[in-house]
Amino acid sequence: MASIQFLGAAGEVTGSCHLLRAAGKKILLDCGMIQGGREEDARNRENFPFDPADIDAVVLSHAHIDHCGRLPLLVKRGYAGKIHTQTATADLVRVMLEDSARLAEADVEQGNRMRARRGLKPLEPLYDLADVSEAVARMRGHDYDQRIELYPGIYLRMQDAGHILGAAIVEIWVDEGAGERKLVFSGDIGPDGTPIMRDATPVQRGQPGADGKHLRRSPAPPA
Ligand SMILES: [Zn+2]
């Protein structure tokens, strides 16, 4: 039986992170930075409420830091799998995470000067550029509107979220033997009507048929 655990961006807007358990796999949806003040910074350093080495796959909705910002930390702490995302996000995420690593280093340097005056031990930055490279190497870009089999019984498709370059609404189909169930992870959507971004693709009930164009209602008829 599939289940979803909301581990961030619940009751707050940053730190998007959700754990989907389905078809015997653990799939993490986003791994964003918690943003705000010093208290939020400290929460980013806490242990994840799961063992990163236990996660089978990560799916990333888009390159904003509150959705991807803790991915280098996830890899640093033992995540060994791939990060599935839209093709443009796979490119954009490097720029975003390198910027985030530089900011983290500058923040820690400043904080450590204060800590030294108080006789406290220096803190390490959350992650550095080498950790970012490790995370970026795990990125697997997929085009919009392609249904991909992630694992037997788990399929995903990215649709245009019209939010930033490469942003995706992620549709996930899970088949655990009793017919397919569809989950939609919207990420951030819109705004509509901007000059260079396409508007979000409306999500349809069901799944693409064999030709990938026509939708049929789920659950899928037996093959
Ligand atoms: Zn966003």
- Domain chopping of the chain, boundaries: 3-155
- Per-residue pLDDT at 179: 87
- Ligand 1 centroid–CA 187 distance in Å is 7
Amino acid at 58: V
Please identify, in words, the CATH class of the domain defined by 3-155: alpha beta
Per-residue pLDDT of the chain (223 residues; tens, 9 = 90+): 789 999 987 777 889 999 999 999 999 999 999 998 888 888 999 999 999 999 999 999 999 999 999 999 999 999 999 999 999 999 999 999 999 999 989 989 998 999 999 999 999 999 999 999 999 999 999 999 999 999 999 999 999 999 999 999 999 999 998 888 999 999 899 999 988 889 999 888 766 544 444 444 444 445 4
Mean pLDDT of the chain: 90
From residue 172, alpha-carbon distances to 23, 62, 63, 149, 157 in Å are 12, 16, 19, 10, 7
Q: What is the pTM for the complete model shown?
A: 0.89
- Per-residue pLDDT at 213: 45
From residue 28, alpha-carbon distances to 80, 88, 103, 136, 184 in Å are 13, 20, 25, 16, 14
Please identify every residue whose CB atom is under 5 Å from ligand 1, which is an ion.
Answer: 64, 188
1 and 28 in contact (C-beta within 8 Å)?
no
- Ligand 1 centroid–CA 122 distance in Å is 32
- Ligand 1 centroid–CA 55 distance in Å is 24
Nearest CA to 25 out of 132, 124, 154, 123 is that of 154
